[in-house]
Structure 1
Amino acid sequence: MKKILLFLSLFYGSTAFSQTVANTPPDIVHCNPNVFMDSAPPVDLTQQTPLILGGLNPSMFTVSYYESEADAEASVNAIPQPEQYTVPAIVPGYVTIYARVENNNDESYMIVNFTVTDVSLYAMEPTLIVCEGYDVPELNIGEFYSEPGGQGTIYGSGTIVPQFTHLYAYAEYEGCILEFDFIAQPDFVHFDGPLEPLTGCDENMDGIALFNLASLIEGINGNNQWIMVTFHQTYADAEDGVNAIATTSAYQNILPYNETIYVRKYDGTCHSVTSLELIAGDCEGASVTGMVTYDLGSNECNTGAVGAPGLPVSFNNGITNYVAFTDSNGNYGFVNVPELEGTLTVGQGGTFPFTTTPGSYTLSPEGEEQGYNFCLSAEDNSTNISVTMVPMGNAIPGFDAYYQLVIQNTGSTPAGGTITITFNDASLTFNSSSPAMSPSGNVLTYNFAQLMPFQSVTAAINFTVFTPPTVNGGDILEFTAALSGTDDIADDNVSIVNQTVVNSYDPNDITVHEGAFISPEQAEGYLHYTIRFQNEGNGNAINIRVDDMLDDNLDWDTFQPVASSHNMQTMRTGNMVQFYFNNINLPYTDADEAGSQGYISYRIKPVSNIAEGDIIMASAGIYFDFNPVVLTNTTTTTVQTAASAKDFNNTAFVVYPNPASGTVSILAENLTGEADVVFTDVLGKKVLIAKVAGNTNSIDISSLHSGMYFIRISTEGKSSTQKLIIK
């Protein structure tokens, strides 16, 4: 680093010649904070002229300035611009200037001298050391401090400042008090120290709790989406950026009571790691339970009332809106809500054709609050039948595939009708259904009787998938279930299933019925999801909880549970949905293979401003009692026009597994020739480029850190993009 020199200039003494009289001026002390400079600023020497002449007529005398007495005596080498004199760096401490006063009417002159002390405070520009911080520069005098006026912590030259820091330079010298400041603002990530401990609710007092790590991300990255935040169980994994915790919204500690995990920030170039202590502690929240029933007997639900399933009940305390959904019997429940006053209501906004008695409750929950019941009565006559077709398992070539048709009356008047189910009879053989359906070619017809409000009916359907080469892994089986007739709300009258044929499968998975691609028109309606789980342990599962973090491209307020294999409680807070199966007592696979399985089906709409090219992701974490979480796959749905989704030169592609590690496979349907594959990170930076040819290709991704990436495959001027999670 170039050193900054302090220049002090001094003039003194007096020599008289002839009869000319000159006064010795006072010394000059020039106080100057110059921030980042490597030389002293100019000094105006002519400020001394009036003082030297005193009362003499300036028109009769000439004053000139010199850097040596000899030059002044000889009247040579006068300083050319004394009003902009730069102190030379030749004499540490001071500079002497000689003033020659000449009488314009005769040859008499007189020489005086004075001292100039230039006290300048400055430093070189600070140096940024990539991924470390700013190197505090050297000052010519004084020190850098953390507070103005020479107060606070001293930052010596060479100190590395790794984060946003306000530095104050301060010096006192020769009567000068000098100060300037600047902000060191490194453009990379840095943790100042360990994060504040995070406490989770230990409901069973066994030292195990759930922690919503995802809730910390915005505070960690300052809401800068280009800074990736990941959580890891070991410091080494965090440093290397591998083996990130996948289910950040519902992490269950491995070590009882206290566990330390590690948090990593990464901005595409630099990273920083710190620790986070997880504490399984007491549950500070309250619980609220109740029941919602429908008044069939017009007697305020005193007799003849039926439970109203699938309705959202909201508890809003002005800070957070918690939403619980009624189960098949109309029961609802909130757990661990803050003990703050809030309002309890039932409803679905403008599409809710019922009134409730009471209209709402105002309560400050404390401990266990029970009996907050609502009675529904019809506000107007509304006919609304919803239709959902649910895959009950995977479709495998040569094996049976099972589906369930769920029909619900969500209106306020009794209604019946006809459902037609269209399937591809070139890929499937219809075997049976219960209740019986009328087959005709590739169409099944099902007539259902009058359903009362909140009543539902289900039908089981069985097909056999054709064997290869007719049906192969990666093929799509398409189903459409549609209501015939008129309905007041039409956006839930049609259910579309696009199911990918697989050769092997994980029994714990999530699927989106509409498939990997939807059109912008489809994006205006519901997406239907099914989460399947199976107890593959060696004992019955007493309690099961399933956590699902809804994507930002989904309208969370349109979330509705549709069906489940067992009675469940559902609670939504923001985009976090939790499904509780308490006392399910689910058998394990070896004891009862068929009974060891369960499922959840729900529907939700994309956000209203979703655009072509946007991607919706979904995954879930399944907890069997106190065992570690079982993670499902991640399913993606991309909004594309029919041309880009289907006519992508017959190269629509599937990425699997997802999440992946080590390698990832790309299945491109009927790809002719080569296609370019580009992996980009969340910052848009290309991190891996490859080429694929043929239907199935494997790509080595071991060089990529854990996190989210985008895969873009392009050929013949057309392209398609999908998300990939790397574990």
Structure 2
Amino acid sequence: MKKLFLLLFFMFSIFFSQAQIVDVPDPNFKAALIANGIDTSNDGEIQVSEAEDVVNINVSSANISSLEGIQSFVNLEILNCDSNILTELDLSQNPLLTILYCSYNQLANIDISQNLELIEFYASYNQLPESILTQNSNVRHVGLEGNQLDGIDLSQSTSLETIDLDSNNLLEIDLSATRGQALSYMNNPVVYINLKNGYETYSMEGTGVTTLQYICIDDTFYEINFFMNYTDILINSYCSFTPGGEFYIIEGQNTLEFDINGCDVNDNGYPFLKFNITNGSVDGSLVSNSSGLYNIPVQEGNHILTPAFENPDYFNISPPSLSVDFPTDSSPFVQDFCITPNGVRNDLEIIILSFSEPVPGFDGTYGILYKNKGNTVLSGTVEFDFNEDADYISLLYADPLEDNLSSNVLSWNFTDLEPFETREIYVSFNMNTPTDVNFPLNADDELDFTASILPNDSDETPEDNTFDLKQIVVNSFDPNDITCLEGARISPEDVGEFVHYMVRFENTGSADAINIVVSDDIDENKYDITSLLPLHGSHDFITRINGNKTEFIFENINLPFDDANNYGYLVFKIKTLQTLILGDVFENTAQIYFDFNEPIITNTYVTLVVDDNLSIGEFDQSKTKIYPNPVKDIVFIKNSNGISSLSVTDIHGRIVMQYLSKGFETERHLNLSPFESGIYFVNVHSQEKSEIIKIVKN
């Protein structure tokens, strides 16, 4: 019995001792471990207890084909297995790993899904798949160059700061979910990079990449770093319409209430309500859509939201303002605004829209847009007068059909136009040709239409109950343009009042345009940016104002590319500064972005402050003289106070010639021979003032 007991004890001891030895099948790996001094017992084996004491292993350049046995190193924090012949690597049993070097192997598969503490990961020059970092939200520094990656998913790498992706096959790189601040992407056919993540990118290396077309980046960082050097690449923030990085949402519905029982789902939305937003250091504005819905993404901090009416004494609003503190408050923070009438305010408004420039021999369609911007329900009449040009155009149709047509004046009766309701009327004409025997219509001729809305005897602002549209006939036109609906001239009496702009756009591409942004940098030396109000659009849009930059955002417009449905437009109004004087010029240009394409830069529409009652050359003849007038080729300009600069504007409001004096000169001549016959305006800037003189070019 005693011998049997000793035998069993001996066998158990052997089994137990063997069970404590880590199985390392690859002799090169085992030899490298022993060379690292891990075999502290010097028995030529790696005990489990010895493996559990190890936090750092370096087995680089050891011709290792398998790291089988690494799972026993449960407390491992740093592993360097660079420059071996590994084809796969399973580190799922090493949860404390923070730094991994495994570059220059043949890895086609690696499991780091359980390495949630991983901070640095370097696996360059392997054959890894794109879904490597799907669970590693703490990783900060990554090296994956030379892996022939066709794509990479970094949506879970929210702590990522630097990444090297050189020498892969990447077409797109999206760092929007990361803190990515340094990126290297050399030797990739990359077309698109998304850096819109709320963090400033301080390093970007793409030497040799000639395919890059678009970089998306937060507006905040665009002008303060090296991106200004990327002159041949489209850079903007329009890949999405929310800030990069962590952000919060304020949203709600603006409702107009009349039945004195509180705002509810039966009440109408209040369209295009402007909100002024400030966090104490940065100010901006956002305008809700045509249904009264607003959605405002903001960063961390306290934000004060204040509604701003065009006529604040017409309405009461509850709450009058809103203070939100993120992340203390939950997101999205929902706040509806209830708007009620204040007294009795009758106020109608009308404008005329032109959906194309008039071209001889072609049809032209016009929109009559009338709106109740007061706080009472109104009925009345809309009139459209085309009598002045009736001989040069032929009425095709009106939609809806007019109630009356008399002396080339169309009229429609309307009833129950509710506050902030907008209605449209469409009128179409055919333009005469230049060969018309009696009334030929030619380029540079002017068409004049007038729309009015009645009643105006009790109207709060009767001046906007009448609208004059002046149009210059053209031989052709660009479908993407901007037009001042008041025309190329306003009188001094109209300075400080609203002017109306219409931006037209057309998708001439080969696919639907998912998003369209119209960007307009407002000249704050000529316009009052605080007065800007969107009025109407072909599709739903929101308006965002930061500083002098205004963006009209058509998100998910999905504008088709077929000729019948590929156009759109928007209309807004803005006041000129009251400081403009006779002879001043104000101009506007828009940029139209179709998805990620280069922007289409519209024409620059120039409007002059000029007295139309002055005859040709009548402007202060004692100071400025222009002769001959009419002119065939050379025109002479004299001003005894000295000429600082000259500009010539055509009747469309376009600057066709500019001259800047290099010294004091009282006389200058201009060669107008290349220009077509017609009317032009010469803007003469002297040391004392500016003058505009109308000339005729034969």
TM over 0.5, shorter chain: yes
Aligned: 1:331 with 2:293: yes
Q: Call closer, same or farther: CA 1:554–1:484 in 2, change over 3 Å.
A: same
Match in the other structure for 1:426: 391
Match in the other structure for 2:551: 578
Question: For residues 580 and 500 of structure 2, what CA distance do their matches in structure 1 show?
Answer: 17
Match in the other structure for 1:563: 536
Report how many aligned residue pairs link the two structures.
Answer: 438
Of 610, 635, 638, the match for 1:675: 635
Identity of aligned residues (%): 29
Amino acid paired to 2:671:
K
Question: For residues 659 and 193 of structure 2, what CA distance do their matches in structure 1 show?
Answer: 36
Of 602, 616, 627, the match for 1:632: 602
Q: Which structure is higher in strand share?
A: 1
Question: For residues 515 and 395 of structure 2, what CA distance do their matches in structure 1 show?
Answer: 36
Match in the other structure for 1:309: 271
Tell me if the contact between 1:616 and 1:638 (Cα under 8 Å) persists in the aligned partners. yes
- Deviation at residue 429 of structure 1 after TM alignment: 1.6
Q: Call closer, same or farther: CA 1:208–1:472 in 2, change over 3 Å.
A: farther
- Deviation at residue 638 of structure 1 after TM alignment: 0.9
Tell me if the contact between 1:292 and 1:375 (Cα under 8 Å) persists in the aligned partners. yes
The 5-angstrom pairing of residues 203-602 of structure 1 reads: 207-208=193-194, 259=227, 261=229, 282-283=244-245, 286-335=248-297, 337-348=298-309, 350-365=311-326, 369-423=332-386, 424-437=389-402, 438-468=404-434, 470-486=440-456, 487-552=459-524, 553-588=526-561, 592-602=562-572
Q: Secondary structure at the match of 1:545?
A: strand
- Deviation at residue 694 of structure 1 after TM alignment: 8.7
Match in the other structure for 1:244: none
Q: Call closer, same or farther: CA 1:258–1:685 in 2, change over 3 Å.
A: closer
Tell me if the contact between 2:527 and 2:576 (Cα under 8 Å) persists in the aligned partners. yes
- Deviation at residue 365 of structure 1 after TM alignment: 4.4
Question: For residues 482 and 514 of structure 2, what CA distance do their matches in structure 1 show?
Answer: 22
Question: For residues 504 and 463 of structure 2, what CA distance do their matches in structure 1 show?
Answer: 25
Question: For residues 697 and 676 of structure 1, what CA distance do their matches in structure 2 show?
Answer: 18
Q: Structure 1: give runs of 5+ residues left out of the alignment.
A: 1-200, 212-248, 264-276, 651-667, 699-709, 723-727
Q: Deviations over 1:497-544 (max 9, x none)?
A: 111211111111000011111101122432111000011111011111
Higher relative contact order (CA 8 A, sep 6+): 1
What TM-score does the superposition give when structure 1 sets the normalisation length?
Answer: 0.54
What TM-score does the superposition give when structure 2 sets the normalisation length?
Answer: 0.56
Q: Secondary structure at the match of 1:293?
A: strand
Q: Deviations over 1:27-52 (max 9, x none)?
A: xxxxxxxxxxxxxxxxxxxxxxxxxx
Match in the other structure for 1:80: none
Tell me if the contact between 1:314 and 1:344 (Cα under 8 Å) persists in the aligned partners. yes
Tell me if the contact between 1:533 and 1:597 (Cα under 8 Å) persists in the aligned partners. yes
Rg (Cα) greater in structure: 1
Q: Call closer, same or farther: CA 1:537–1:318 in 2, change over 3 Å.
A: same
Tell me if the contact between 1:296 and 1:306 (Cα under 8 Å) persists in the aligned partners. no
Q: Structure 2: give runs of 5+ residues left out of the alignment.
A: 1-173, 179-191, 198-217, 620-627, 638-645, 648-656
Tell me if the contact between 2:276 and 2:305 (Cα under 8 Å) persists in the aligned partners. yes
- Deviation at residue 354 of structure 1 after TM alignment: 0.9
Question: For residues 567 and 489 of structure 1, what CA distance do their matches in structure 2 show?
Answer: 27
Tell me if the contact between 2:398 and 2:427 (Cα under 8 Å) persists in the aligned partners. yes
Question: For residues 315 and 454 of structure 2, what CA distance do their matches in structure 1 show?
Answer: 25
- Deviation at residue 260 of structure 1 after TM alignment: 5.1
Q: Deviations over 1:519-578 (max 9, x none)?
A: 011224321110000111110111111101122211112211111000111112232111
Question: For residues 721 and 250 of structure 1, what CA distance do their matches in structure 2 show?
Answer: 42
Amino acid paired to 2:498:
Y
Q: Call closer, same or farther: CA 1:681–1:320 in 2, change over 3 Å.
A: farther
Match in the other structure for 1:617: 587
Q: Secondary structure at the match of 2:495?
A: helix
Amino acid paired to 1:454:
F
- Deviation at residue 721 of structure 1 after TM alignment: 7.4
- Deviation at residue 334 of structure 1 after TM alignment: 2.8
- Deviation at residue 338 of structure 1 after TM alignment: 4.4
Q: Deviations over 1:199-254 (max 9, x none)?
A: xx98799525799xxxxxxxxxxxxxxxxxxxxxxxxxxxxxxxxxxxxx98999x
Tell me if the contact between 2:583 and 2:691 (Cα under 8 Å) persists in the aligned partners. no
Q: CA RMSD in A?
A: 4.1
Tell me if the contact between 2:502 and 2:572 (Cα under 8 Å) persists in the aligned partners. yes
